[in-house]
Amino acid sequence: MNKKTYSELIQIPSYIERYRYLRLGGKTGEITFGNERYLNQLLYKSPEWKSIRREIIIRDQGFDMGVDGYEIQGIILVHHMNPITVEDIYERRDCVFDEENLISVSKITHNAIHYGSEELLVIDEIPERRPGDTIFWRR
């Protein structure tokens, strides 16, 4: 598996292409931490995580996958672009807090990256603006 990086991701202009770069293609219910799920919950409550999470959200300006115009409504998740393991947490490896491995995403995008497909995504294409397009009753 090629290591994904934030620096590469932000070079991709479109929302859908960024999603395709990040998707993991997992299956619903696939175990990631098993009986040690409490570890990642402890991680996400730690002061170190809360600090890096805040930095990532500010860096990404609250946009889904950092794509301008895709403001996240509701809870912002900070996603590990390269999944972390139990060992990564136990050994406090750099990948856990590395800004190059983190991106802001919405819950829907997060679920699509891990378990779903493009059909789960909410993609609002912005129509090209034309003179007079603010007058709804005129075509």
User: What are 77-113's pLDDT values in tens digits?
Assistant: 999 999 898 899 989 999 999 999 999 999 999 999 9
Residue type, 137: W
pLDDT higher than threshold 60 for residue 31: no
| pTM of this prediction exceeds 0.85 | no
Q: Is 108 a member of any domain?
A: yes
Where in the sequence is the domain holding 10, given as residue range(s)?
A: 6-120
CA distance 120 to 19: 11
Domain count, the chain: 1
**Residue 96 and residue 45: Cα distance in Å, rounded?**
14
Contact between residue 114 and residue 24 where contact means Cβ atoms under 8 Å apart: yes
Q: Does any domain span residue 128?
A: no
Identify whether 25 is part of a domain: yes
Residue 134 in any domain: the answer is: no
Q: What is the pLDDT of residue 119?
A: 80
The 10 Å Cβ neighbour count of residue 105 is: 26
